[in-house]
Amino acid sequence: MKKMEGLIAAPFAPMQADGKLNIDKIPAYFQFLQKNGITGAFINGSTGEGVSLSHDEKVKITAAWTAQNKDKALKVINLVGGTSYEESIASAVSSAELGVDAISILAPYYFKPASGKQLAEFCAKIAEAVPQLPVYFYHIPVLTGCNVSMYEFLQAADSMIPNLAGIKYTHEDFMDFLSCMSYREGKYDMLWGRDENLLPALVLGARGGVGSTFNYAAPLYHQLIKAYDKGNFAEARQLQQQSIDMIRLLGKYGGIATGKAYMRYVGMECGEFRSPVQNMTKEAYKAFEADVRALNMEALFSKI
């Protein structure tokens, strides 16, 4: 597979008011992403609450996204990783049958691998079940607690996992990230996963990113990339700062669930996060809405 470029969104799992999946929302969601210039959908990940869903629910979500994607308008990447390789293999095989473009594997997050080799061995068991599919490792140590460096992982995985395509890198270790970019003359597709630092990743050579805020603020990042490509760094910095101001509200309003509040704000209602993630109260949403308006960045949000 060619390296991915541009903005790959990590879609939210659409929920009904009663907490059940709202699969019917996915066609509209697909159109929404396309309309906003998104090039891929990384489903069932952190933003997509994969860990909070049952296997059957994840299959339904996957089927709904691939059903929309007959024309391959987007790259659909499905996160199949978990703590049991048996379950991940089942999920990988089902993903292949449903026609995803790639799968992604997470470091197991209960028993944590302590070396690149241990981590690569775990991933290899899953990857070899779907040799026809590109595999992206999903590096997000803040959630998995697996702190193996990706440079060490690549050194072990390179000979073990023939279908390893690259890494979704959601961590702020640019020394490690650049080392992975440089590894074997840039063999691996390194997808940047921290939206608040896209500009530093671009100067290190990143061409694609996977992000949750791309769901609702795609124009901001399109402009940022454009400014960077033109060498307008002052403008690029200002846009990155606007992205940061937007992201800072996630911290203020309690974390990841704020993403679904932003989706409501831009008109693509996705319901709430499932427990244990904490959702905003109605009062908090009002304060949040006021804070978003005060950012004064309407033109940078995605359009329905």
Instruction: Could you list the residues known to form a binding site, using ranges.
Output: 47, 210
Distance of closest approach, residue 107 Cβ to a second copy, in angstroms: 8
Residues in the annotated binding site for pyruvate: 47, 210
In sequence order, which residues have a C-beta less than 8 Å from that of residue 278 and are 6 or more positions away?
A: 254, 255, 257
Residue of 184, 178, 44 lying closest to 192 (CA atoms): 178
Q: Which position among 23, 28, 87, 291 is part of the footprint of a second copy (CB under 8 A)?
A: 87
Specify whether 168 is catalytic.
yes
Residue of 194, 127, 185 lying closest to 161 (CA atoms): 127
CA separation for the pair 236, 223 (Å, rounded): 8
Q: Which position among 112, 187, 207, 264 is part of the footprint of a second copy (CB under 8 A)?
A: 112
Residue of 157, 93, 154, 149 lying closest to 126 (CA atoms): 93
Catalytic residue among 29, 138, 228, 262: 138
Residue 83 in contact with a second copy, rule: CB under 8 A = yes
CA-CA distances (angstroms) from residue 171 to 76, 248, 277, 297?
Answer: 22, 17, 21, 26
Alpha-carbon torsion (249, 150, 33, 97), positive or negative: negative
Residue list 230-269, contact with a second copy (CB under 8 A):
231, 233-234, 236-238, 240-241, 244, 247, 256
Kindly indicate which of the ranges 7-15, 36-44, 202-210, 262-270 contains the residues binding a second copy, using the contact rule CB under 8 A. Answer: 202-210
Residue 17 in contact with a second copy, rule: CB under 8 A = no
Residue ranges binding a second copy (CB under 8 A): 46, 51-55, 57, 83-87, 90, 107-114, 118-119, 121-122, 125, 143-145, 172-175, 178-179, 181-182, 196-197, 199-205, 228, 231, 233-234, 236-238, 240-241, 244, 247, 256, 274-278
